[in-house]
Every structure is written in C-alpha cells, then in structure tokens.
Amino acid sequence: MADIMAAKIIGTGSYVPDQVITNDDLSEMVDTSDAWIRERTGIRARRITETGTADMAARAALKAMENAGISGDELDLIIVGTSTGDWLFPSTACEVQAAVGAGRAVCFDLSAACSGFLFSLNTAAVYLDSGAYRTALVVGADSLSKTVDWKDRSTCILFGDGAGAAVLRREESAAGTEKTRRGNSEDPAGPDSPGAPESLESGGIGPFFMGSDGNRSEYLTSPSTSLRNMFVEEKPTGYMAMNGQEVFKFAVKTVPEAIGHVLAQAGLAPDDIKYFVLHQANERIIASVAKRMKQPMEKFPVNLDRYGNTSGASIPILLDELNRKGMLRTGDRLVLSGFGAGLTWGASVVTWQASAGSI
C-alpha cells in the first residue's frame, strides 16, 4: 500500500527580548495612561529588541529544534514569516539557516504581516504533504518597535518584539490513515470540498483557510525603511500608519468567519476545540471572537498582557507556552487564527500529537 504523508508539529520554541517597556513607561513618552491601555487593549507591557529580528528568530528556532530533538542538518526547509527583516536581503530565513547550521535547507521569508506565521505554517505543511521535503522549520518573528512612531500614541502602545518557531515533520503511514488535505479561500464548507480532511485522527495541520484583500491595504501600512523616502512622499512620517477602528471591525468579522470555515471543513464543532490560539492584538478582539463562537474565554489563551502585539510572532509564542506548560495532549484539536496588514487573515486546525516535542 502506498505511503501517505501528513505534516505534524514535533517541537516548538520562542524568544522574547529582556528589555521591558511598561504602560507607565509609555505614559512618560506620549499622552496616555496605564488605565487607558489596559482597558482598551489588555496590554500591560511589551518587550523591545536590541539585537533585531534575525537574532530573535534564530533563538526561537534553536529552542524549537531542541524541543523536537533535531539538529540543523535534518532541516530541508526554513520559512520565516516576517515583515520586519533586518535586511531587504538576505532573507531572515537565510540568516536563521546560518545560525542553526541547516546547510541543506532551502530558505525564504514570507510576508503576510501578523498572519505571517499562519501563512508560513500552511505553506510548509503543503510542501511536506506533497512529499517535496520531510522536515521544516517555521518561524514567526517581528520587531515592530522599528516601524512605529514612538510619538504616536495610537500605535506605539500596541506592539512588542519577539519570535516563535515550530518544527514540522512529515510522518509516513499506511494509506488512508493520516491523509490531511488542505483548504483554500474559495473552498466552501462541505465533506467533499477540496480542503476537507479524510481523517484527523492521527494528527496534522489542516484544513486551513487563508484570505487576502489588497483593496483595504491602507488600513495598516508601513513603508520599507530604505525605500520610504523615495516612493512614499504622501506618507511623510515614514512610520507605520493604522486605522485602528477599521482593523478592529475587520478582525472581529473575518476571524470568526475563517474559524467557522475550517471547522466546517474538518467536520468539527467549536465545542470540539480545546484551545483557540488567536493572534494577540487586542483582548477585546479575542473576547468578541469568543462571544461570536459561543465559547468560554478559558479556551482562548492570552499573553498579550505581557508581550503586546508581536505581529507574526504572537501565535507561535502562545503555542510554545501551551506546549511548555504541558497543556497539550495527543488528539487535542487546536484552531490557530490570525489577521493583519495586507489585509490578510486565516485559520488552521492543528491536531496535536505527543512526540519528541511534547513536554
């Protein structure tokens, strides 16, 4: 019987910088207060990097590889989801490759802002499931502290720096037992849809949903540091610009839709999900999603109080915390869901499997 493959997460890791900026620190820099920030966002503190995105990404990657029990030469593929690489080139993924000794791996970055890890995870899973590669490192890493105007209270209070990583491996098995097919944004829910998995019993990543809308790109922008003065004269500040209320409305609508989509594809109900691992942008957004899904907040872990919005890093940092706290068991169904600039958004079902990476 021919072998069929399914990519699984076999290890996780994360890294946040030591330097902490509290809400009180910010209130000395801009006209804001600890009370306003906590009430409107849930954020109490954030971390700021002194070394940059690649360094954070490499540190998270090494922890994930240690957790998975693999060495760099076992990696076939490295994808880093980031929109704040230290260089336009080389890619952050190539810098990570050098740092972790993954000489055989093919490496590239994926730009999807705060959806970066989710899109990278799905991309790597498709490569692994196709049989092209066996072992992948997926990293979400961002230093949004570099892009915000620290005089703009509407954005600088929200963001922090960090990195999270996962090691994926394709397991081979008897045909029909582990096949997990992938969804796409055009894929309506239904048992015969292209994204419907034939079995979720043995773990894996998927089905997934990914959406993009370039027509609303102006809601959240940040010009490229080295090019900003040449091409973006209409945005003279050169910093991140955000329409917070529109992004908020976009998030509370699209995240439940994306989650509903993948649950329908998987044939699962919200009650079947152990944890909804959402992008950590604003606790009010998370609470709104929980309410729309008619699920208790206990199923929506939160760490944005400590780290703020770490963009592409927020989902893998949270996933690593759940793993290291021993909160995940074989067969647990998780939903990962994120949204961000682009606009981009999406959701993935992850069926956890105890492995070398389990604590």
Chain residues binding ligand UT7 by CB under 6 A are 32, 36, 40-41, 114, 153-154, 157, 242, 244-245, 247-248, 281-282, 309, 340
Do the Cβ atoms of 328 and 308 come closer than 8 Å? no
Q: Which is nearer to ligand UT7, 137 or 347 (CB)?
A: 347
Q: Which is nearer to ligand UT7, 14 or 41 (CB)?
A: 41
Whether 261 is a known active-site residue: answer: no
Instruction: List, in sequence order, every residue forming a beta bridge with 174; answer none if it has no partner.
Output: 3
Work out whether strand 204-212 and strand 220-221 pair parallel, antiparallel, or are unpaired. Answer: unpaired
Whether 114 is a known active-site residue: answer: yes
Local structure of 175: helix, strand or coil: coil
Say which of 23, 94, 107, 279 is annotated catalytic: 279
Rounded to a whole number of angstroms, the minimum distance from the CB of residue 154 to ligand UT7 is: 4
Whether 184 is a known active-site residue: answer: no
Do the Cβ atoms of 296 and 244 come closer than 8 Å? no
Q: Which is nearer to ligand UT7, 91 or 222 (CB)?
A: 222
Rounded to a whole number of angstroms, the minimum distance from the CB of residue 163 to ligand UT7 is: 16
Give residue 303's identity as a one-letter amino acid code: N
Residue nearest to ligand UT7 (CB): 244
Q: Which is nearer to ligand UT7, 36 or 108 (CB)?
A: 36
Do the Cβ atoms of 354 and 330 come closer than 8 Å? yes
Do the Cβ atoms of 220 and 242 come closer than 8 Å? yes
Rounded to a whole number of angstroms, the minimum distance from the CB of residue 115 to ligand UT7 is: 9
Identify the residue whose tokens are 């590669």. Answer: 133
What size, in residues, is the chain? 359
> Which residue from 353, 201, 211, 316 is spatially nearest to 266, judged by alpha carbons?
201
Rounded to a whole number of angstroms, the minimum distance from the CB of residue 21 to ligand UT7 is: 13
Say which of 114, 122, 261, 323 is annotated catalytic: 114
Identify the residue whose tokens are 């919200």. Answer: 270
Q: Looking at the annotation, which residues are catalytic?
A: 114, 279, 309
